[in-house]
Structure 1
Amino acid sequence: MAILSMFLLKKALKEAGIIPDKNCTELRNHPHHTGAPRVTFKDLLPRKEFWNLLKSLESLENPTSLSSFANAHEVKPHLVCEVVSVLQKLNYPLVIDDHHGQDILVPPSHSPGIHFEMSLCEWLALQAMFPVIGKEESKPHYALVADKLEDLEAHYPEYDMYKLLEEEEAKEGILGRLGEQAVEMVKKIEDGLSRGLVVQVHWGQSRVTSVYPHKLVYLEGELSLVGEDAGDRCLVSFSVNDINSIRFDVTKNYQPNFSPIEVDDFILALRVVSGNEERLVLKLKTANDVDLNPPYHFLANPYITTNSEGDVIWAASVEVCDDFYAWLHDLGDRVQIMDPTHVATGYSEWLHRSSEIKKAS
């Protein structure tokens, strides 16, 4: 016990700097330290050179000349020694070896890494901290953290909290352009969709149709319910604006007669009849931060590629309407309409009308 206590005491004194650590003393007495001021870990943390050197030293795979490494990073060799000292204090087994009078950086045969797992709740909590992390953008270590978090987001797109928030915000924008009664109908239809319930649609003059809902989608410029008539089991559509009220029919255990693909084909057929479908081509600066799935819009045959200049080219068959123009407007200067030109013209006219309405209000 006495030997163990003495060992722990010496370790504590070394960490406090009262008893010098052998490796650290050798680095401080290294020829490259001659005349160089002592730099503490606290001094190094806010320096960009420290993080660049740290990343490069950690990625070393083969023994490398200390002088050559320092020259390649445009720093003095003594600064490299200071960073090596920090790594050693953090139990990273990188050493500086004297090889025939030349100082060599010798990386470990196996680079240790940090591995940990998170629950969905913990990942959502971390995503909620992104705005706080973003405030550190001016700090030299920010890029390392941001790049790692972007990798995690790309690896787990199904758990993207901000995509869900953007979808909700986009839907709220659409609902804000509808009347109060239409908003109530949309919420009830979505409730029926999520629960798989048959809904009784009261429309027209005292007409009632039992419908198994499949989708809420824009048809002929109006937000519409597409579903199966529970009586004759055929596909039907209703404009939300034509619906007077909706009730849930919890007594029916309806088995759908049409697959999602068949429902999509039905929507495409309605577009062909109305002649409202356009093959839209957009150019995007990047596809990473752009949601290419506008709510309540059916995109047929979507396609994405990149051109020789690195631009992202996106195409899909869509129904162009005022709400679709509103979605394009929300994307701002991140997108440019490439084709067809008459859609670009229509978008410009929509912008002008919207501007005039705002001025009038």
Structure 2
Amino acid sequence: MKITTVIPTRNRPNHVRKVLATLQAQTRQADEIIIVDSSDEIKYLEVIKESFPDLPLKYISSEASVCIQRNIGIAQATGDWVFLCDDDIELSKDYLEKLELYTTLHPECGAIAGRLLQQEDDKWVDQYPVTGARDLIWRFIFQLSVWGDLQNIKSSFSPANLLLVYIKKFYSRRGNGFTLAGWPIITSWSASFQTTIYSLGADLIRRDWLLQSPYDEVLDPSGIGDNYGVAIGFPQDRGIHVIDSTVAYHHRANENRLDRTLAYYRRVLALHYFIKKSKRFTKVTALFFLWSLTGNTLLYLAKGSKNMIRANLKIIALILTNKNPYWVAFRKNKKVTKPNFI
């Protein structure tokens, strides 16, 4: 196996140094590391070369688009496997070694990741559990995303527990795939599991899979929602394997990061765009998706989140009028679209 690491970056020199340090510390190092850079200033690259003289580094300049940058790196890669690595990732020292070992034991595997942890309230987590029975019932009614184990969800109201049993069985039958509205779900979190959608910020993937299902370059420069579009194009359903024997830490760098409302707005539009574009979804999925946005709107109305309400209402209007900016740009063969609800 030959592994090429692809790192897209923009105006994050300190994070590039850190991610190269974590790659240098790997017990199984990558055979090739490609940095695809769209920074305004690239003088820092000379310092990088001096700091990591033993790493097999290659630098490519690009326009500012994470999707375009990743596609460039994948196209230039000489490895038969590509390690997609965000520039704000920190890896366990055995990360690549464990992923490679897994692929040798499971030759059918085409995409593999360790658990991806993000910091929430001073804790590193990879699940965002449902908060209780009401939350789960609400998500089920509106077919919203679930990203955590459901086994411990109970209600003090006995009749509600009968409904919860049905809901849990419903999600169990759906597997780690999609709700009826197309939102991703992961409710089975064993030591090793397979899923359709997972973060691709620290994943080892067959290069031919990525060439078959490239990143969609119509998306915004940050690539919000890009992993969804790539993963649904993989040749295997639930084709991403996830193991808990090694982990990656996503530090979520502040540079170039969109504010919460705009990120949500673009992510939802991207999800609808892929539902509309992909043959694996039907018109029924699109209708359920609209219904799910009604649930989100009501939720933000209860919270008094005016910007999120406005974002949801505009998304609904764009969908109903067939004017999703990503879909419009796709039909016109345009790239790097920047939808804004203000």
TM-score normalised to structure 1 length: 0.24
Relative contact order higher in (CA < 8 Å, ≥ 6 apart): 2
Larger Rg: 1
Going by fraction, where is helix more abundant, 1 or 2?
1
